[in-house]
């Protein structure tokens, strides 16, 4: 299978040119033969260096889903990968818009009459990508399902974790005093800060700090959530915050299937690692969920 690489033009809400986004499209097939897709899947990558660590797993999973009959689109958000702009140009609002634009492309490529399953779109987010998926879904006029890989309950601790990279670096240089407070003041004043080679803009930091994984409002039949977490422990279970978040989705009427799969935290390991059991379980879950 050879995926299709292309650049998707993006415009602002005022119609101004917002550059291009690199996209990778995996066409659906069954038994090695191209077919009408059983469903549409949009992959939303994680934050900063986690994106680079996860590229291989994203490609392996996209290929597996395509071979199971799903059409998959990967999109590099503004300032990430080979898309237009630098990381410092990114805002949370524009990243959400990029997700919406990716969904619109999938619907243009595969209108309802060409899709056998007629099922809703799947938004597949890894880490921060899960938060972006939920924020983007609030802007849709139709239901969508969610595929979450290691979803956080909110963006605030992820921002804190990212800011600590700067603190850790300055500690090694003996200059850590007041670094965290200084960064927050700098962001609050409208200035970007440099962390581990990435320029973090206030518009991205504030959006990440405020976003939570609360279920969007829904209409019609209850949509579905496939929630996956990884652990190398034999006796692992969902963390208390994850269990609480899953319960909130269920109480809001969503059908949530939570899965714990054995495998490494590939988005943060020193070497690039695979989690083959996660790929198998994810593919099986989406196939079971197909109408």
pLDDT at res. 181: 84
Q: What is the mean pLDDT of the chain?
A: 91
141 has pLDDT over 80: no
Q: Does 203 lie in the same domain as 176?
A: yes
Distances from the Cα of 143 to the Cαs of 110, 138, 179, in angstroms?
16, 9, 43
Q: Within a 10 A sphere around the Cβ of 261, how many other Cβ atoms?
A: 18
Report how far apart the first and last C-alpha atoms of the chain are (Å, whole number). Answer: 25
* Among 147, 178, 210, residue at a domain's last position: 210
Of the two residues 221 and 217, the one the predictor is more confident about is 217
* 255: helix, strand or coil: strand
Same domain, yes or no: 169 and 251: no
What is the CATH number for 124? 3.40.50.1820
| 253-286 pLDDT, tens digit each | 999 999 999 999 999 999 999 999 999 999 999 9
**36 and 19, same structural domain?**
yes
pLDDT computed for residue 142 by the predictor? 77
pLDDT confidence bin for 16, thresholds 50/70/90: confident
pLDDT digits (tens, 9 = 90+) for 162-180: 999 877 655 544 555 677 8
d(CA 193, CA 233): 37
| Final residue of a structural domain among 167, 186, 210 | 210
Domain count along the chain: 2
142 and 239 part of one domain: yes
Q: Please, which pLDDT band fits residue 289 given cuts at 50, 70 and 90?
A: confident
Rounded Cα–Cα distance for residues 72 and 75 (Å): 10
Which structural domain range is residue 30 located in?
4-155+212-289
What is the mean predicted confidence (pLDDT) over 212-231? Answer: 89
| Average of per-residue pLDDT across 105-123 | 79
Overall average pLDDT of the 145-149 stretch = 97
What CA–CA distance (Å, rounded) separates 127 from 45? Answer: 8
The residue among 142 and 39 whose pLDDT is bigger is 39
């Amino acid at each position: 299978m050879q995926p299709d690489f292309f650049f998707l033009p993006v415009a602002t809400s005022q119609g101004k040119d917002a550059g291009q986004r690199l996209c990778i499209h995996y066409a659906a097939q069954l038994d090695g033969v191209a077919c009408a897709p059983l469903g549409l899947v949009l992959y939303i990558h994680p934050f900063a260096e986690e994106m680079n660590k996860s590229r291989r797993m994203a490609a392996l999973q996209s290929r597996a889903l395509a071979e199971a009959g799903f059409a998959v689109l990967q999109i590099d958000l503004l300032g990430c990968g080979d898309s237009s702009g630098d990381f410092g140009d990114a805002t949370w609002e524009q990243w959400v818009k990029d997700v919406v634009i990716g969904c619109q492309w999938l619907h243009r490529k595969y209108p309802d009459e060409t899709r056998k399953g007629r099922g809703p779109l799947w938004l597949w987010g890894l880490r921060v990508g899960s938060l972006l998926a939920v924020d983007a879904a609030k802007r849709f006029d139709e239901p969508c399902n969610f595929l979450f890989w290691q979803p956080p309950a909110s963006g605030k601790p992820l921002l804190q974790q990212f800011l600590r990279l700067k603190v850790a670096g300055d500690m090694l240089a003996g200059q850590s005093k007041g670094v965290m407070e200084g960064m927050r003041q700098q962001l609050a004043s409208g200035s970007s800060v440099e962390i581990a080679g990435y320029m973090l803009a206030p518009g991205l930091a504030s959006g990440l700090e405020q976003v939570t994984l609360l279920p969007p409002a829904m209409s019609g039949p209850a949509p579905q959530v496939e929630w996956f977490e990884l652990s190398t422990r034999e006796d692992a279970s969902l963390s208390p915050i994850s269990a609480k978040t899953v319960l909130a989705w269920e109480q809001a009427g969503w059908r949530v299937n939570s899965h714990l799969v054995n495998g490494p935290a590939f988005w943060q390991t020193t070497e690039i690692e695979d989690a083959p059991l996660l790929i198998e379980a994810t593919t099986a879950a989406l196939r079971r969920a197909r109408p």
